[in-house]
Amino acid sequence: MKILVAVDGSKSSLNAVKYAVKLVSNLRSEDRITLINVHDDQGLRYAQQFVGKEGIADYLREVSDKELKAALAVLVKAGVKHDSIIQTGHVAEVISNAANKKFDMLVMGAKGRSGIVDVLLGSVAQRVMSTCNKPVLLVK
């Protein structure tokens, strides 16, 4: 089973990684867990004219490395084979597209927000669930 885990550095995404490790262990699977970290770079396009495209890419790489650090430590400690994907773009769309193309299942954290905020703003998890064709497991 090929499992994709969305990681954003939050406590709930780290819980999703830990749950995916349990799944792989319980299934006695030799497959890898792939972590995906996505940043929306749309808001940084204005800054790009001052620091350049490479400056923005370096900044986002640093942020992604920081957000992936704890998740990678969990996988290494558990002895689970793993890969990671770092991309930019519309977060929900990139995650959903990646899951649909190569993976059997997506595991991601569900940040707890109040119901009214979700109605007004939506959430990445809700958008991914509505566009992903693969099973999506949300972990708090």
> 46-77: per-residue pLDDT in tens?
676 677 778 888 889 999 999 999 999 999 99
Question: Does the global pTM surpass 0.85?
Answer: yes
CATH classification at residue 33: 3.40.50.620
> 68-101: per-residue pLDDT in tens?
999 999 999 999 999 999 999 999 999 999 999 9
Q: Which residue has the higher pLDDT, 121 or 96?
A: 96
Assigned token pair, 136: 């999506």
Average pLDDT estimate for 94-120: 79
Assigned token pair, 69: 């650090």
Task: Give me the percent of the chain exceeding a pLDDT of 70.
Answer: 89
CA angle 85, 108, 101 (to 5 degrees): 50
Structural domains counted in the chain: 1
Q: What is the pLDDT of residue 130?
A: 92
Q: What is the pLDDT of residue 48?
A: 67
State yes or no: pLDDT of 29 exceeds 80. Answer: no
Number of H helices, E strands in the chain: 5, 5
- Quick one: DSSP state of residue 114? -
Judge contact between 106 and 74, C-beta under 8 A.
no
Q: What is the pLDDT of residue 81?
A: 93
What is the extent of the structural domain holding 51? 3-139
Assigned token pair, 103: 């993976």
